[in-house]
Amino acid sequence: MSTEPADAAEPGTAAAAPPPANPFARPSAPPPVPPPPANPFARPSATTPPANPFGAAEVIEAGAEPVRKKPRFKVGTLFLAAVLAGPVVGAGVGYAIQASRPPTPLPEIAAPKLSYPAERVDAKALAAAGPQPPDIDGDLRALLIERPAGSEDRTDGDGDGWLSPADLAENYGDSAREFTSMLSEGFRRAASVSWKSGDDLYQVTLVQYAPEATLKAITGAVPRSTVDSDVSAIPGNPDSYLVIGKQPLHYARSTDTYYYGEALARKGNVVMTVALYAKAPVDRAQLEDIARRQWEKLA
């Protein structure tokens, strides 16, 4: 019995050739290239997936259902829910209680009955019983005091005692503004008398406003400035002003100085002004005397 394999070629004969290659077969894939050895000093690649933040994945057996974890509510969440639900529940309970109560009837409206006097009131008699306005509808110049005998007449305007708004505005620093203000705020007419006695100049002015411009008459009876001045009232007239300047002032565009004194009062819609430009400090008694006499002529 031979121990050679069955497909062994006989001695002296050539080995059988392998079968021809299949021309339609796909080429086999090249053998895989082994990866290079890991660099122990290299940094980890950015493409490496991050580690599982939730720990190792739970392995679920085939056919078994995953175990669902029960939700846990924190104390802060429960407290916030209670705070939000409290007012809503309270409002609902309160509304339900109020809706179940019977409506409360409102009290009846009580209004006093109108009553009229049995007799008619005479309008003329009622007006006559009230305070009478000053009779200043005539010549305003007749209410001015007379200048002292021996004094020099220094009356402004045309010399007849009447002052136009332009003549009156020249007594103030901002003449244009004062002129516009007088025409727009109810200026009606003005009368004045001025005189010079020694080195002192006196000017008494009566300015009348329209009946509907009472507010202007009231504000016109207030001093424009009380800086460095003594302010008091005319004796016998608490609704008046007596202003005595303490420091000398300069005339406009001049180096000459003067001391200023002023008395103001109002009677109805007429404003009385007594101005004094003195070379020496103002004599209060003399200014009070002129203001008192002018006020008595208005009263």
Q: Which CATH number fits domain 140-298: 3.90.1690, 3.30.519, 3.40.1000, 1.10.1760?
A: 3.40.1000
Q: What is the pLDDT of residue 63?
A: 58
Do residues 252 and 226 make contact, with C-beta atoms less than 8 angstroms apart? Answer: no
pLDDT in tens, 185-225: 888 899 999 999 988 999 999 999 887 777 777 777 777 77
Do residues 255 and 234 make contact, with C-beta atoms less than 8 angstroms apart? Answer: no
Distance, C-alpha 187 to centroid of its chain: 34
Task: Provide the 3-class DSSP secondary structure of residue 182.
Answer: helix
Distance, C-alpha 123 to centroid of its chain: 47
pLDDT in tens, 12-58: 444 445 555 555 555 555 566 666 655 555 555 555 555 555 454 55
Instruction: Inform me whether the pLDDT recorded for 65 exceeds 90.
Output: no
d(CA 270, CA 191): 11
CB within 8 Å of 298: residues ≥ 6 apart? 134, 136, 143, 206, 265, 267, 270, 272
Q: What is the pLDDT of residue 86?
A: 84
Q: What is the pLDDT of residue 195?
A: 92
**Domain chopping of the chain, boundaries:** 140-298
Which of 22-31, 68-77, 88-97, 126-135 shows the highest mean pLDDT? 88-97
pLDDT in tens, 256-266: 899 999 999 98
pLDDT in tens, 100-145: 888 888 888 887 878 777 777 788 888 778 766 655 778 899 999 9
Assessment of whether the complete model's pTM goes beyond 0.75: no
